[in-house]
Amino acid sequence: MPLSDAEFVARVLVDDDHHAFAELVRNHQSTVRGLLRQLTGSDVALADDLAQETFLRAYKNLRSFRGEARFSTWLYRIAYNCFREHARKRRELVGIDEEQLAREHDPQIVDPALRQDLMHALSLLPVHERTAIVLCCQNGLSHDEAARVLDIPLGTVKTNVLRGREKLKRTLAAWAEG
């Protein structure tokens, strides 16, 4: 019978069991890297660097995981914080502001004819809506869990999911017509 995340975490905490932590990494690497790829606009190398940082931080701070949320939710929160820190550093270095970052992926200024699949449509959403969609619709987190991961009010998550969904539907409908 496969062990649960909580059992692997307990083994790491009690025996500093690296094999158990490797299992945790193996089990969650795909979703964490997928989330970060979406956040970084499909920059695979950057997403993988941030994912590595995520798991290293998770290892160092494993004692702070209290089991109140799912382990995956806790990991997503660390991943999102890594991304936010990276984005902040990038803004400080290059001088990009929040609005500019959001406009980079604004569907209105990108030719939709070039984009044919759902993942592309998703990548066109502003980063806050894309993150909410990836967490709630793709990874099955509740709105409440996503609010905790993103550290924003529950209402904001619901709004972002709603707007993101509507934009996705409109984009997909427009392509289907075109």
Residues at the contact surface with other proteins, assessed by CB under 8 A: 4, 6-7, 9-10, 14, 16, 18, 21-22, 25-26, 29-30, 33-34, 37, 48, 51-52, 55-56, 59-60, 65-68, 117-119, 122, 133, 137-138, 140, 165, 168-170, 172-173
Nearer to other proteins, 7 or 98 (CB): 7
Nearer to other proteins, 63 or 95 (CB): 63
Residues 118/156, Cβ–Cβ less than 8 Å: no
Helices (H), 40-106: 44-60, 71-94, 98-103
Nearer to other proteins, 14 or 93 (CB): 14
Report in angstroms how near the CB of residue 127 gets to other proteins at its nearest: 16
Report in angstroms how near the CB of residue 172 gets to other proteins at its nearest: 7
Nearer to other proteins, 86 or 98 (CB): 86
Report in angstroms how near the CB of residue 110 gets to other proteins at its nearest: 19
Report in angstroms how near the CB of residue 130 gets to other proteins at its nearest: 11
The Cα-based distances of 144 to 13, 33, 34, 131, 158 in angstroms read 28, 22, 21, 14, 9
The Cα-based distances of 112 to 27, 44, 93, 140 in angstroms read 35, 22, 31, 27
Identity at 79, one-letter amino acid code: A
| Cβ neighbours of 107 (radius 10 Å) | 18
Residues 35/79, Cβ–Cβ less than 8 Å: yes
